[in-house]
Structure 1
Amino acid sequence: MSAHKPSTVAPTILRFERIGSMLARIVDNAAVGMVVSEMDGRMVYANRAFVDLLGHRVDETADDTILDLIHDDDSAAARQRLSLLMRGEAGEYRGEHRFRHADGGPLWVMLAASVLHSDATGQPLYLITQVTSIELQKRAEEALAHSESRWNFALESARQGVWDHDIRTDTMFYSRMWRVMRGIPPDEDVDGDQQKWLERIHPDDLQHVLDNVDRQDQGDASFDALEYRERTRDGSYVWILSRGKPVEWDENGKAVRTLGTDTDITRLKTIELELAAEKERLRVTLDSIADGMISTDENGHVVFMNPAAELLTGYASADAVGREVRAIFRLRDGVTGEVQECPVAICLATDEAAHLDDDMILVGKAGSERDIRCTAAPVRTPSGKLTGAVLVFQDVTQSRAMQRELAHSASHDDLTGLPNRAAFERALNSAIASAQDGSRRHCLLYIDLDRFKPVNDNAGHAAGDALLKQVAQTIRGSCRSHDVAARIGGDEFAVLLSDCPPEGGQRIGDKIVRAIGALAFTWAGRTYRIGASVGIATITEHPASPLGFMGEADAACYAAKARGRGMAVAFGDL
């Protein structure tokens, strides 16, 4: 902690990035001192009012805790109550205590502390502590023993309305400031009947007051403050924090008189409502986003998941929070099948955004697989400290399937499913390039069907298409698994035999001729038989003629037809 310098106050707002700058300004300019602590008590943020009040400012690199602010002369109650909150054994606490000012002296404050829990898991996230100076009130209470006028003046200076409840007669006394905060003229008589006061309380708060006002009157140690809305003279409502305790008892020890003060906390409640509304808007926005979103801490553990992320990963947020994100977000390469590193790990290791756009597969909890595109970006404090990462991912399964279909359609024949002429020419050019150094040889087969036209003319195009499908399957089945068989024209096919010597090309060409000749195609009760003529060219570093390899195979096929059809002829045998 360090002394406050009014001219250079610039409190560091930590962990408020998602709330927005407007909300940060509201909190920072609130009249009530507010400090946010980790659950171990380490302070991470203090607003301007807190700094002004105690002369301390929070240094995010320091290890000061909220307990360190409690003055040594104060009772142990504050430390005990705050410790209960930090251990999760209590939800909130209010009390009057002395805090240590930067100059070392004590300062009386009204302490209100509560635990902020995660919406998703209920886990305690932060300890929120509000402090309001009651120094003037305390001084007034001390002066009360000496002078009624001094006591009243001090309370008015602190804008504390005073009430005095005589339980024996059920009558109330209200101070001048008590009237002012309700818009009642200072010198106007107020009916002290408690029922009249209850009629002014907001209907939504009335039951809470009725349930607890007797506890306040009787000095219940676990309850000494009421919060409620009370209607003012102009019809509007003001939020009241009413603190009180018994000051007189009868001979049986029963409280007969209670004294207390009312504080206008409307401004603080307005800030609380704005915070709640902003938080709700943020929650609705995140829930409505179709992209999956996962937020992690600096160690890569999940702290938040939106519904889209739950759907895509198969993990409920309650089960995922606290676990390592790589156990929830599992990726593998869509081409190689290899497990991929989680982009969050890459982001946290490099302190830079990590993008994975191509062929990534998200493996869900039940083993489901989705094509995704994802980005992990670092989250930093305003000072630049890395505090975690946000992972955003999209389901692109449908679009990628469409892309694959389009790519397949562009390179394959719609009827037979074999590669089309353009795809075959690309494969042929690649084979020719691989043979340029003379170390590799390939074979090219050009296949033209014999007696196919009568099938088309007599049985129709539907029969011709059905026959072409059978021929395509027959050719594909006669080749090796790594060979490229394609339909390059109406009844014309070609096969590229990789790393195949001429004798091997002749053998496969003969096999194709026999297989097609053995086909017995039946349509509408009639059986048709066709044949095939095959031309063979050997792909070496240079074509054997100016025709080129495709021209050589075509010429060899023409020769096969001239020799009587139904045979495979190599260009070298012409």
Structure 2
Amino acid sequence: MTVQAIATDNTEQRHVEKRLKDANRQMRLLLEASELGTWDYHTETDHTQVNKRWCDIIGVDYEFYDGSSRFWQQRIHPADLPSVTNQIEAHLKGQSKVYSAVYRMRHEDGSWVWIETYGRVVERDEMGKALRVAGTHRDITERKLAEIHQMKQSQLLGFINKARAAYLENHDLSNACQKILPELIDIADSQFAFIGQIVFEDNKRRLFIHAISELSWNSASEALVELYKGRKLYFDSFDNLFGETIKTEQTVISNQLGTHPASVGTPKGHPPIYRFMGLPIQLQGEITGMIGLANKFSNYTEQDAEFLKPLRDALAGLFYAVELETARLEAESQLLRMAMTDALSGLNNRRAFLEYLESLSQDEISYFVMLDIDYFKSINDRFGHDVGDSVIKQLGSVLKESIPAPHFTARVGGEEFAIVLHEQSTESVTTRLTKLMETIRHTEFALPNKSSVTVSMGVAAYTCDNTSTALTQADKALYKAKENGRDQIAWFEND
């Protein structure tokens, strides 16, 4: 038997293997230097192999990494998951040459990491079905946050200008706040928000809600929504988390709601609140309102509060503008009331009476009454003008109480008063005026001799198109009442 040995020179093969090993080592070093994570997804087993850097990016211990697709899907931001899933499925079906996506993944510490990923199918079966997809995974959080910050600054400036323009258009601050609320929620990455202004009523501090996310979870909350729509929604209790912002005049942040000392929970059935940030709106060091934000996907920070400071300053300016406008309108209204009010009797004066007559409709049934205090000159002569003034003042109070709106009462001369009654018949006019005369007779006026005061009245129906004619007729009826002995009612009758 002959034994033949064949020696094969495998030097070249060893060189190839060494070059491949070196290339892999260089590639690994290159990936580590570039801080790229790598992933290799096997569709048949639903398992993804990753390198240590991939795990480091999201703070996961490499030894305990779970390679299932469920693992990374649960960590993708809910707002990004649909887009990422659609892009992967489209690439697996061959609808794109490269799979690329930018999205957020939750870090182990609870923060969100921005990921830029590229990949492609590297293996398909004979039917074209994708078997393996491989790619890279890069942390672009710093770059992305800078881009977002710049974009949000521009967006913030935009809706600040929108709020100012909306207010200047019709001086409706609530409408202006409601217009920017959706953008505020978006820019703050929050789920709920409100904008409130501090007001004082009867020396009590209240928070008037200009704009709020419309939440409705039961009949009681529906009533609150209706109050909000009617611009009557106020927060009166400050013994809670948002009230802490008002009381301390400081930013309040709670990323674990139940742990904050001021947290008192939410009403039964209220959508859950996980995180909250209250931002004071201040002007010249004094709090004038606040912004409330809730349920950001990540933790609220002081940087969030600082970012929204331009909006808070803008709202403070608008709040101040509203206060100035309100004060101006109140001053004008007070001046108008003073110009239209008789200082002694507290009733409308002659100017107000004449303007009221101009507003009357010719189709409206009205009755003009001229009223005169009987023997008023004697009261002044016997007891002095101070007593006479007191009688006029007391009579003004009686007329206010006895002749309420929609009727109209005015003092048009020394002891002369005018009344416009909107009654449906002469009988109802007579009944009302008779009751008025009885009230006056039984009123204890401030006369030294304790004597009673009586009045005479003349009445004319407003049945013509000329108010001066009706007034003249009422005057004639008044003189008739005086001629017939005073302390009575006389109706105008055509001679």
TM-score calculated relative to the size of structure 2: 0.44
Say which structure is richer in helix: 2
